[in-house]
Structure 1
Amino acid sequence: MPQSQYDVLIVGAGIAGSSLAHALSTLPRTKPLRIGLLERSLAEPDRIVGELLQPGGVTALRKLGLEACLEGIDAIPARGYCVVEDGKSVHIPYPGAHEGRSFHHGKFIMTLRDAAKRARGVEVVEATVTDLIEEDGRVVGVRATRKEGERKEAFHAKLVVIADGCFSNFRTAVMGDAGAKSTTKSHFVGAVLEDARLPIPNCGTVALIKGFGPVLLYQISEHDTRMLVDVKAPLPSDLKAHILTNIVPQLPSALHLPIQKALDKDRIRRMPNSFLPPVKQGKKSGVILLGDSWNMRHPLTGGGMTVAFNDVVMLRTLIAEVSNLSDEDEMKHLLHQWHWSRKPLASTINILSVALYDLFGADDELLAVLRTGCFKYFERGGECINGPVSLLSGIAPSPMLLASHFFAVAFYSIWIMFTHPLPVRSSPETKPVYTVATVDQYPFLFVKALRVFWTACIVFGPLLWSELRWWAPNDTRSRNVVLAKTALPVLALLGGLVWTLRVL
């Protein structure tokens, strides 16, 4: 069997794999690393996700020296969001001069691969990896079949990095029983609209659809706009009819015709919206999981690439300090440091993505109260916008700040329920009439307020625990971790309450 030898072998030339190959080639070493980058197909990929890079991701890309990859692909500047509900809209701009980019996923991937091909010491190989090679419990390489051949070939390396995406073939082999299980909340159904006019140029549109999941729209080239429709299981048998009947009437009228044309012209495609919390690695030596193969969050906030690039920035820095990639103790220390250093940004984006989806995709009365409160919270402007969008965009990585704003939304939602007109429907056929709650309704609303707050805790608590749970190492930090687990939720509640009183 033919064999090839590398210092680092990367499986998957996507967002994480391509950027890591380039990043490692820039390390200041007397002898450059020999890096192998294996990819099943080097043809331009065609996906409906991975098309929005938040400002935090642009910053990480700049640190990697890859900012030029955003040029020449008709990328569109992204300056914030517009949230739409019941014909009303609120503008949520990125703070200051921060700016993201949106683009066709395939074009961006090809520029990253080109950068990797030009990098010192990098060899890009088109080959399908079939299994890991292990010796004495340590991964020392992979077996793969090159595109032009039929025989398997052995690729050996001191360190193997698995970055083969959300449908990873090697996640279980690397993590074993220690790995978390991914959960799929819904699917995004995608289409490309031609020459569509969004409510606010250069801003992604998030439409809150009553009775169904949210709809995302953002421009990805001069003439193309991506539309992503959230569809929960079980999927309708006729997706086109579902979109035209239930979704389109609740979107801005300027989008109706472009959507109709897109659905008539192109096939409807879908991708699962999965969540996979990061588990501390190191059980199997010689191998690292990176990107969606290890950690996924809901794509609603478009934070996946930002997390991936930030992970690569940190991994490059830590690998630069390793003298021997084959040394098990050095690599365990690296994985420990990496796991902790990535937490502020990764945890913030992971938690926010699912929490926002639960609110924006509200399918019961109590979640609907929180969704209405969230929309009105944004309407207040100022820090009620700057804080959440800074968290979402990767500008302000802080789980504590996220928790404070989340519970501020919960308290503010309860305040709205008591002080703003509520819908009263006399019969299913009539339009709702809005009236302010009277004093005799307060006991009922008080009970409902407790249920709303408990619902907020149910939404946020498990997400926070999913991150804190994997935070806890079995070492001398255990006492601090236990303290953090106890103190963080309490401080978050107090912070949310204080912030709500300031808002009111």
Structure 2
Amino acid sequence: MSSQYDVLIVGAGIAGSALAHALSQSSAPQRRIALLERSLAEPDRIVGELLQPAGVAFLDKLGLQGALEGIDAIPVHGYAVVQDGRIVHIPYPDGREGRSFHHGLFVQGLREHAMRAKGVDVIEATVNALVEEEGRVVGVKATRSSGKEKEVILADLTVIADGCFSNFRNTVQGPSARPSNTRSHFCGAILKDARLPISQHGTVALVRGHGPVLLYQISEHDTRILVDVKGPIPSDLKKHILAEILPSLPNQLHEPIRAALATDRVRRMPNSFLPPASQTHKRGVILLGDAWNMRHPLTGGGMTVALSDVYILSQHLDKINDLLDWSQMKDVLDKWWWERKGLAATINIMSVALYDVFGADGECLTVFQDGCFKYFERGGESVRGPVSLLSGIVPSTSLLAYHFFYVAIYSIWVLFAHPRRIHTPRANSESHMNGTPDTTGNGGVHTDEKHSDMHIMQIPSILDYPRLFWLSCRVLWTACAIFGPLLWTEIRWW
């Protein structure tokens, strides 16, 4: 058995469903589109639940804003960053708004739009292999859920959008196109009726010695918590969260977290990074979405990049009369590569760079993290600029570089001019047993009851300057070592 289409899309997730709908709206002659998905049941994932303001804007451009309706989606107005009991407010600029939701409900909304689109056949089938003729992909072999026989589905253009665990990525781009693990997992659960520090804002909690914790409301009663676990996952993950993570989170979240851990399983998702690469290797097929390009999920930019890619690609495909003409397709792919670069590169670089800072693995990154928090506390452009980049509102790698290295230099200033935290064992500091947090900025003490030690806030003396100067050089080098390789992954062509 075989059937013929103009475009065949493997994977009915965010990118695949959006592209099927977008191509159906083409001003060119109506195309036949096949959208294949192994299971059309509602997906169940712990990431892909927050859509940044730029992503909402692209959803509107694609005519898919209806996918956010009727799924109890929550408006998101920005972030609250928490560190050592302090909170800094980071609102989206100009009243812009993102949305958060249950991932599966959003995907089902996109699929419904694709099913209603003209010329689109949504098929529940497992794709077993790509079909090639003379070095060109001409379709796929698939098994429908309703049968056992393999079926050949042919198309002028095949789009692989089967997600982060893509089965066909290596076939299309070779074995070098492998995602690298960022040495961390997000471990997630759902809190019931939790009260966040700032309502309708995502919360990022910086936990010293551990990765960041994300919280955001995804429905009227549900709040997602994602705990970043670096390195091997502890054998008793729930105990790890309660003992190591919970004390650093706002008090109003303690009870909902305990209740969730007592009744719900903690699910895990590896955090991967896959830089984009040229897509002119194999004729007749291209990659889209997480199958092609992934970034750390910390900044919640994946769906924004995917919807941007769909919008740009669909605009160019509208102008092609013959999808079999690969010389035209190569021109389209080249234009797509450069037009997507501003937004995609900014979000990709920022996601990994910000994770390195918020994860603070080592002395230099701890200095960077403290400086970053104090940078946000300045307000004004120190907040507006970074959040405009994170939300995709201002896609500019040059502006990202400016703020990133400004934070590095400001962190060095903080190192010399601000009180620094010194840990002193309780046994040697009996006179400070009842110390309280310093609020003057001129020094003070804080007793850590859990770890039986003292946190003394002390302004550096001249005797500290040689060591701090050397540390400052290391901080600047660390900033270059983070940003430089990430920038290179975006400007290289192969």
TM-score of the superposed pair, with normalisation by structure 2: 0.94
Match in the other structure for 2:445: none
SS in 1 for 2:79: strand
SS at match of 1:431: strand
Distance apart, 1:328 and its partner CA:
1.0
Where does residue 91 of structure 1 map in the other structure? 89
Which residues of 2 match residues 212-223 of structure 1 at below 5 A?
Answer: 212-223=210-221
Greater mean deviation of Cα atoms: 127-136 or 437-446: 437-446
Unaligned runs of 5+ in 2: 427-451
Which residue number corresponds to residue 7 of structure 1? 6
Q: Distance in 2 between matches of 1:93 and 1:62?
A: 22
Matched, 1:430 2:453: yes
Question: Shift of residue 104 of structure 1?
Answer: 0.3
Alignment of 1:243-282 (within 5 A): 243-282=241-280
Q: Which residue in the other structure is 1:357 paired with?
A: 355
The alpha-carbon deviation at position 177 of structure 1 amounts to 4.8
Find out whether 1:68 has 2:91 as its counterpart: no
**1:51 — aligned with what?**
49
Match of 1:240 among 238, 241, 248: 238
CA distance in 2, matches of 1:100, 1:289: 27
- Any idea what SS the aligned residue of 2:182 has? strand
Deviation at 1:432, TM superposition (A): 2.3
Matched residue type, 2:410: Y
- Secondary structure of the structure 2 residue equivalent to 1:432: strand
Q: How far 1:178 moved relative to its partner? A: 5.6
Alignment map for 1:302-341 (pairs within 5 Å): 302-341=300-339
Q: 2:356 and 2:176 mapped to 1: Cα distance?
A: 27
DSSP 3-state at the match of 1:333: helix
Counterpart in the other structure of 2:468: 445
**Structure 1 SS opposite 2:27:** coil
CA RMSD in angstroms, aligned pairs only: 1.0
Q: Counterpart in 2 of 1:374? A: 372
1:24 matched to 2:23? yes
Measure, in 2, the Cα distance between the counterparts of 1:356 and 1:112: 30
What does the per-residue CA deviation read over 1:139-174, in whole Å, with 9 as the maximum and x for residues that have no partner?
A: 000000000111100000000000000000000000
**Cα distance in 1 for residues equivalent to 2:153 and 2:55:** 31
Q: CA deviation at 1:461?
A: 1.2
Instruction: Please give the per-residue CA displacement for 1:216-251, whole angstroms capped at 9, x wherever unaligned.
Output: 000000000000000112110011101111111110
Give yes or no for the alignment of 1:460 onto 2:489: no
Residue by residue, what CA displacement relative to the aligned partner does 1:6-39 show, whole Å, maximum 9, x if unpaired?
000000000000000000000012x310000000
Contact kept, 8 Å, 2:217 with 2:224, in 1: the verdict is yes
The reply on whether 1:211 has 2:234 as its aligned counterpart is: no
Query: Contact conserved, 1:180 with 1:277, CA < 8 A, in 2?
Result: no
Identity %: 64
Contact 1:192 1:224 (8 Å CA) reproduced:
yes
Question: Structure 1, unaligned stretches of length 5 or more?
Answer: 473-504
Q: Verify the 8 A CA contact 1:9 1:36 in the aligned structure 2.
A: yes
Corresponding position of 2:442? none
Secondary structure in 1 matching 2:403: helix
- Read off the aligned partner of 2:54 and give its amino acid letter: G
Partners in 1 of 2:478 and 2:488 — Cα distance? 16
The one-letter code sitting in structure 2 at the alignment partner of 1:10 is I
Contact 2:48 2:103 in 1 (8 A): yes
Task: Spell out, residue by residue over 1:314-359, the C-alpha distance to the aligned partner (whole angstroms, 9 max, x if none).
Answer: 0011101111100010011111111111000000000000000000
Distance 2:369 2:148 in 1: 55
Distance of 1:363 and 1:405 partners within structure 2: 21
Deviations 1:250-299 (A, max 9, x none): 10010011011111111110111100000011110000100000000000
In 2, Cα distance between equivalents of 1:362 and 1:335: 38
**1:86-111 CA-partner distances (Å, limit 9, x unpaired):** 00000000001210000000000101
Whether the 8 Å contact between 2:130 and 2:139 is mirrored in structure 1 is: yes
- Map Cα deviations across residues 159-207 of structure 1 (whole Å, 9 max, x no partner): 0000000000000000015635433331000000000000000000000
CA contact (8 A) 1:180 1:278 kept: no
1:100-499 equivalences under 5 Å are 100-177=98-175, 179=177, 181-427=179-425, 429-470=452-493
Per-residue CA deviations over 1:294-315 (Å, capped at 9, x if unaligned) read: 0000000000000000000000
2:431 counterpart residue number: none
| Equivalent in the alignment of 1:489 | none
SS of the residue corresponding to residue 460 of structure 2 reads: coil
Give the whole-Å Cα distance in 1 for the aligned partners of 2:484 and 2:298.
Answer: 19
| C-alpha distance in structure 2 between counterparts of 1:220 and 1:323, whole Å | 42
Decide which moves more: 345-354 or 429-438. 429-438
Residue 447 of structure 1 deviates from its aligned partner by 1.0
The secondary structure found in structure 1 opposite 2:12 is: coil
Deviates more, 1:432-441 or 1:407-416: 432-441
The 2-side partners of 1:76 and 1:317 are apart by 30
Deviations 1:48-89 (A, max 9, x none): 010000000000000000011111100000000000000000
- SS of match in other structure, 1:425: strand
**Match for 2:468: what amino acid?**
L
Q: Secondary structure of 1:96's match?
A: helix
SS at match of 2:219: coil
2:441 alignment counterpart: none
CA contact (8 A) 2:416 2:468 kept: yes
Q: In the alignment, what sits opposite 1:499?
A: none
In the alignment, the residues of structure 1 paired with residue 201 and residue 324 of structure 2 have an alpha-carbon distance, to the nearest angstrom, of: 47
Paired residues of 1:180 and 1:279 also in contact (CA < 8 A): no
1:485: which partner in 2? none
Large movers: runs of 4+ above 6 Å: none
Instruction: Confirm or deny: 8 A CA contact 2:179 2:272 kept in the other structure.
Output: no
Amino acid at match of 2:20: A
Distance 1:105 1:378 in 2: 30
Q: In structure 1, what residue type is equivalent to 2:141? A: R
Q: Secondary structure at the residue paired with 1:156?
A: strand
Contact in 2 for aligned 1:178/1:279 (Cα 8 Å):
no
Deviates more, 1:455-464 or 1:302-311: 455-464
Q: Give the Cα separation in 2 of the matches to 1:397 and 1:272.
A: 26
- The answer (yes or no) to whether the contact 2:346–2:395 under 8 Å persists in 1 is yes
